[in-house]
Amino acid sequence: MDRQHSASSPSAADPEYVANQAYDVIVVGGGSAGCVLAARLTEEADVRVLLLEAGAAAADMPEFMAHPPAWPALGETSANWGDTTVPQHSGSALHEPGPRVFLPRGKGLGGSSSINAMVFARGHHTSYADWSAHGAKGWAFDDLLPYFQRTETAVSGAPGRGTSGPLTVAPMAAPNEVLLACLDGAVETGQRRAHDISGGLEEGFAPVDLNIVDGQRQSAADAYLTPALGRTGLDVVTGATAHRLLFDGRRCTGVEFGVDGRVFTVRAAGEVVLAAGTIGSAQLLLRSGIGPAWELRKAGVELFHELPGVGSNLHDHPLINIVHSASRTVPASRGNHGEIIGLLRSTPELDGPDLQIIFVDVPFPNPVAPVENGFTIGVSPLRPYSRGTLRITSADPYARPVLDPGYLTDERDVRAVLSGIGTARTIARSAALSPWGGEEIAPGPDVTGAEALAWYARTSVTSYCHPVGTCALGEDEVSVVDSRLRVRGLEGLRVADGSVIPSIPSNNTNATVYAIAERAAEFVRDAA
């Protein structure tokens, strides 16, 4: 039977057609992980894969998506789910609520790789040591290294980097002048100048690898999915919201999904793999009756399989911005705005870096005063102790989740932020930055002392857009998936995205998600 496609999107298969087909694997979610899985699994000609994506096909995404400096505006488009957290902890003795934090995540083929800031970094190797805390086997940095390498063609040619992967990654050839001044300021004030800050072995400051090729964004859809779309074994349905998982006994056999108000079911002879992200994958499990019994009862969902860890362990990198005006005109960005980062330790006795400093060539909006010309030094605690939850309120697949990442609820994270602010201020006062005439606007030079700076951090915190952990991997009772990413206690069902990360690594997480998906594809092939 010939494959049928919709007129609006030539890469999208007709849902009525796919509902009558037999697939070996169904992948739910066409973001970074889903694109990897669809591409890798269909490298074998006799494997049939269906990819379901709730958002749009590439042809229907915002036209400016490919233009790297435009990424901040993508959060206001249909390519973002538009999630916001519950009010966060303010630290107030009067228990005044803190801010609701905007939490962007990609909606459409490519997922968050289509709307993010394009930073591609593995994170320091030491930050993967905690992944075995709940019994996970074979997930140390060295175990992931072959999969990191498989994803990339690293232009730097640095030792340990990939040379033939789908993603072409490199720092900006000519970073923004103000960012180079920040880098010089960091070195001037005693910070190490790193060589390959993206590779996972170094601390210090350096230009970071970016997913920008020939001046344009390279998403997972660009690098992985598009080259695979002509394969006879791959069908893609966009605009398809997964409602619930289908089971025969304890075995997952398919997915119920909706398109344009119509409901379809599709079956998998082999496996269903959830790649809908930290929010989407946990939501689908919960709507399917898989999760904490008391939470499901509260949401009016019938319990199918009790897994207490689903939706717990939600955490993210909080970002606190130190905003400066400039007396010189900051050049317009040709890259992603944040082209240089630093990895450092908040205290010297730590086993590895727990802070990122990122230099940004625009003044981020701030709670103190608007700035038209300036730059930002962002501070993020990379190994946060704070944890939160994801919850659903009903089985309605279109209801918004209740998200509480618990930003800065653990005082150890606040202390790390205060250390980072001190470092950022030292760099800002360096001779290298003096020609820019930078003046700190937010929090402002008069805001000093731990209590005042902690208040600023908690009331101005934003998301670095790296949520993880809601389907954490491990081998104990609080783990959701085992060491081969299989949902514990069930058959034919895996999760392979950022939700399985039990403890966030010290990086912008997209590179790690790619590596997880590469490994998951291997697991699925081995099980076939």
- DSSP letters spanning 238-307: -S-EEEEEEEETTEEEEEEEEETTEEEEEEEEEEEEE-SHHHHHHHHHHHTTEE-HHHHHHHT---SEE-
Token reading at 244: 């619930």
- Rounded CA separation 191/217 (Å): 30
Question: By three-state DSSP, how is residue 525 classified?
Answer: helix
Q: Measured between alpha carbons, how far is 386 from 413 in angstroms, rounded to an integer?
A: 7
Q: What angle do the packed helices 510-527 and 32-41 form, to 10 degrees?
A: 30
The question of whether 466 is a catalytic residue gets the answer yes
Residues 186 and 425: their CA atoms lie apart, in Å, by: 10
Contact between 222 and 514 under an 8 Å Cβ cutoff? The reply is: no
| Tokens 């998951």 sit on residue | 520
How far apart (Å, rounded) are the C-alpha atoms in residues 472 and 475?
Answer: 10
**Could you tell me the sign of the dihedral formed by the alpha carbons of 181, 186, 190, 193, in that order?**
negative
- The sign of the torsion formed by the CA atoms of 292, 295, 298, 302 equals negative
**Distances from the Cα of 82 to the Cαs of 85, 123, 142, 148, 285, in angstroms?**
10, 27, 36, 30, 21
Using CB atoms within 10 A of its CB, is residue 365 exposed (0-12), middle (13-18) or buried (19+)?
Answer: middle
**How many CB atoms are located within 10 Å of the residue 276 CB?**
29
Hey, which residues are catalytic here? Answer: 466
